[in-house]
A and B are shown apart, each in its own frame.
Chain A
């Protein structure tokens, strides 16, 4: 029996506003516990929530960038459940009239392009944080995060495997960071996702019963959790049982998903319109202003890099893949006339280091300014390409300033040709056998002489000058 997998993602993106969705509490990450809590976040009697306009604007940016319908009138509902980190006993969300509906986003997985439709994206408030293991017999609650604006982005069940799910998540993350509406920081929980997974017999029209995997916050775990869950569902069905619709928690240490029955019992949220909040209206003028403020999006950048700057398709794709990478490219391009050189370094050495450490460019020690400096020093021949490689590695480790490294380590390229001529002469004199062989027709030995000169100068010679000088001496 062959099975088909059907996956839908609910991505929670924390909108990068300064204040909360309904109060003037700060959304700053990492603050001392319970210091960013307003009376509204506490849900104290008599307070009234007032919606943060900026959260709407940011949501609309996402809607416009995904070609979605923008509901200029949207409203809020209450989703009722009891949990200690939800002070009001309900979460304010947009059930019936979300701000965004019917968008789509392009993904690349397994070398092919696919469009994933986005059902809706709605605004809602985040809950606080429960701390379970710190206190004997009690749970601590930190409400700093309570009320932080989230955009919940719900995809259609059109994703067919774990790789596509990861590609989709990456595409959404790329977009929200380009749009400057979310910092995309997964380690800090700025982006999290719930995954709905079900399987059905190949060719069946009807969807199977789905399980929901909660709160996964890394690309690696999305893939692993989905693959584990697919295997589990196949095992369940093939042994004659049926999949239960439930919420499951992914345990990354054991690499398994397990049932969270406790939550199921209360799975009746009794949504109703929030009587505290009137519908929020976005005017045509506001919508127009947001449209005009949209930045260049990844796909547009990619096209421009190819058609205007002349990069290869593969280079353009890698460079436009993240906002930081694109910033580095654009910043460094102002420091040189050789834009292809910039692309070569980003796609070559920088990407190789990223792969080696298995990190994203945002997590690296390399800043756009420092990378720009590196390119500038290569371009103005202060340092050779070979030295630049070791400088890049040093920056990668320490984050130090490029000029500082070049200066303190004495890496400046030897500009004085007469010094190079001296060294080249010495190399030729001390290798008579190779000289004879070279003159006898072993052309390949030329590289040997270049290598020796580079070694003598500790890489500080300009290979072009060395070539020229050696040719003169040897021929």
Chain B
């Protein structure tokens, strides 16, 4: 775990890291990874990966429309919207 990796993952998760905390966070992450890395010492070659700790399978639903039109309510709780759309700072393609 180096500074560059920390910068990259903080960018990917859109989290701003204060410069004075950078070293501490780098060390913390390093320790976390070392801790988790212990798992790599175990031979898991013939064990099926666990996709969910519940070890159950999903309930599914029938193909039925159940949602109400919540346009007004949903646009209202957004930080910015007009009568038809959610509005965000301009994204350029």
Interface residues, chain A, with chain B CB atoms under 8 Å away:
17-19, 23-26, 32-39, 42, 50-56, 73, 75, 80, 82-84, 96-97, 130-132, 134-135, 137-143, 249, 260, 262, 266, 268, 270, 273, 275, 277-281
Contact = CB atoms under 8 A, between A and B. Distances in A.
A408 to B, nearest CB: 42
A249 B71 CA distance: 32
A17 B63 CA distance: 7
Contact of B12 (A33, A50, A270): A270
B90 A96 contact: no
Given A96-B49, A140-B84, A268-B12, A281 B63 contact: no
A135 B87 contact: yes
A18 B88 contact: no
B58 A51 contact: yes
B65 A280 contact: no
Nearest to A73: B57
A53 B87 contact: no
A19 B63 contact: yes
Contact of B14 (A25, A33, A82): A82
A34 B51 contact: no
Given A24-B64, A35-B71, A268-B12, A140 B87 contact: yes
Interface string B1-32: 00000001000101000000000000000000
Interface of B: 8, 12, 14, 49, 51-52, 54, 56-67, 69-71, 74-75, 80, 82, 84-93
Contact of A23 (B52, B67, B82, B92): B67
B93 A19 contact: no
A329 to B, nearest CB: 31
A281 B58 contact: yes
B67 A24 contact: yes
Given A19-B64, A130-B91, A278 B84 contact: no
A289 to B, nearest CB: 15
Given A140-B86, A270-B12, 10 more contacts: A18-B64, A33-B71, A39-B70, A54-B63, A80-B12, A96-B49, A137-B90, A141-B88, A268-B8, A278-B54
A24 B37 CA distance: 41
Contact of A33 (B58, B64, B85, B92): B85
Contacts of B67: 19, 23-26, 36-38
Contact of B56 (A84, A132, A268, A278): A278
Contacts of B84: 32-34, 140, 142
Contacts of A279: 51-52, 57-58
A143 B65 CA distance: 16
10 contacts: A19-B63, A24-B61, A24-B67, A55-B63, A266-B12, A273-B51, A277-B58, A278-B52, A280-B57, A281-B57
Contacts, number: 135
Contact of B74 (A32, A42, A52): A42
Contacts of A131: 85
A131 B86 CA distance: 10
Contact of A141 (B51, B57, B87): B87
A53 B12 contact: no
A175 B93 CA distance: 33
A278 B87 contact: no
Nearest to A134: B85
Given A19-B64, A82-B14, A84-B91, A143 B86 contact: yes
Given A34-B74, A75-B51, A273-B51, A50 B87 contact: no
Contacts of A36: 67, 69
Contacts of A266: 12
A24 B66 contact: yes
A42 to B, nearest CB: 6
A275 B54 CA distance: 10
B65 A141 contact: no
Given A17-B63, A278-B52, A139 B71 contact: no
Q: Which of B64, B80, B86, B91 has the most CB of A within 10 A?
A: B86
Given A35-B71, A97-B51, A273-B52, A139 B58 contact: no
Contacts of A140: 82, 84-87
B65 A18 contact: yes
Contacts of B63: 17-19, 52-55
Contact of A35 (B54, B61, B69): B69
Contacts of A83: 91
A142 B63 CA distance: 23
B88 A84 contact: yes
Contacts of A138: 80, 87-90
